[in-house]
Amino acid sequence: MNNNLLQLESLPNEIFASIFEFLQCPELFQAFYHLNSRFNNLLQSLPYLTLNLLTNYNNNNNDFFPYIRSLIIDRAIDINLCRFMQIRSLTLRYPTDQLLAQLISNSSLHLEHLSVNHMHVSVLNYIPNLCDKVFSNSFSKLKSCHLLEWGTIVKNSQWTILPCLYILKIGKIDLFIYKSILSSCPNLYFLQLATIISSNTSIRIRPHLNLKRIVIRTTAFVERWTDDDMNICLSYVPNLEYLSVHQPSMIFSHKNDWLASIIACHLPCLHQFHYYFHIFDIERIMEPNIELLLNEFKRKFKIAHHKRYLSRFIIIRAQLI
């Protein structure tokens, strides 16, 4: 037994670190923590320790809390975030108002990745303060941020420069907020939003040269973007390489050229363009020639974008409810 133990302990830390990747954090610490100083130091230094809280955690064994790097908290779970002093990635799914209040008031978190999604209507009053927390650069090391899948982003005077932010996923914004984001995030590479709508603003900004990818995921329950809004939006990102737009069906009023002229005017570096055209069940019932119309749309889309860049017209068939 002693020989086996000695052989086990003779393995290099790299081997143990590779093995530990396949173990859940609570079981990992229960098995190896406090065995000796070597294992203690190794466990404390692991850069990938992840805790996924699907239920309220009542286990007394919480020695590993201070060493968690990635924390995922599912719906209706409340826990003291101050117990996780080294988290770099935080994901909140259906967060409670108590948890959001903690996130907003906590000044000791050094997050690099933040995701807050599937927010319930009862916590919408936290949206302004949450936006202020992010865009005032309170998380000074933040590299990626996913906020408010269907909420509306608002702005106050506290916004400042976010030099580290690289990826941003947000909900509905207007052109004023869009320009403010571009001005505040000079190194932004990827931007995803629910839709972009008009606003009464004459603010002028410099073109954003680092933004390479934009995804606009409009749904049936979100106000659609217009060609005029898209024209302004794309005029500020001349180095864009990838554009993806989702548009609920406009079968009975579709008269544009699938953004071809806007892209030709503003996006000389575009490599890929994906257009997701959403068709709902009620439209298939109301329009008996729906398949003929869709084929015609595909044909016109192909002509409009042919050989200029890689383009795809993708039909999404879904139920409205």
User: How many CB atoms neighbour CB 236 within 10 A?
Assistant: 20
Task: For residue 210, name the pLDDT band (cuts at 50, 70, 90).
Answer: very high
Distances (CA, A) of 162 to 184, 204, 285: 6, 19, 48
* pLDDT at site 63: 80
**What pLDDT, on a 0 to 100 scale, did the predictor assign at position 88?**
95
Exposed, middle or buried by CB within 10 Å (0-12, 13-18, 19+), for 263?
buried
Name the nearest CA neighbour of 212 among 189, 232, 192: 189
Task: Dig out the tokens for 316 from the structure.
Answer: 């999404």
pTM value > 0.95 = no
Band (pLDDT 50/70/90 cuts) for residue 174 is confident
34-93 residue pLDDT tens: 888 888 888 888 888 999 887 666 666 778 899 999 999 987 788 889 889 899 999 998
**Res. 150: pLDDT tops 70:** no
- Give me the residue spans of the domains in the chain: 1-46, 50-165, 189-321
> Would you place residue 267 in the very low, low, confident or very high pLDDT band (cuts 50, 70, 90)?
very high
Q: What tokens does 280 get?
A: 């709902």
Strand 144-147's sheet: what is its strand order? 50-53, 70-73, 89-93, 113-117, 144-147, 167-169, 190-193, 213-217, 242-248, 272-280, 310-318
Pairwise CA distance, residues 234 & 225, whole Å = 12
Q: Is 213 left (phi over 0), alpha (psi -120 to 50) or beta?
A: beta
b/e for 93-128, b at 16 or more Cβ within 10 A?
bbbbeebbebbbeeeebebbbbebbebeeebeebbe
- Chain-centroid distance of CA 238 in Å reads 23
Identify the residue with better confidence: 128 or 188.
188
Mean pLDDT comparison of 5-19, 63-77, 176-190, 268-282, highest-scoring range: 176-190
Give the residue with greater pLDDT, 40 vs 165. 165
Report the relative pairing of strands 310-318 and 190-193 from DSSP bridges: unpaired
Contact 180, 201 (CB under 8 A): no
Distances (CA, A) of 6 to 1, 27, 34, 74, 209: 9, 22, 17, 41, 57
Label residue 149 by pLDDT band (50, 70, 90): low
Is the predicted pLDDT of residue 156 greater than 80, yes or no? no
Lowest mean pLDDT among 142-146, 193-197, 261-265, 304-308: 193-197
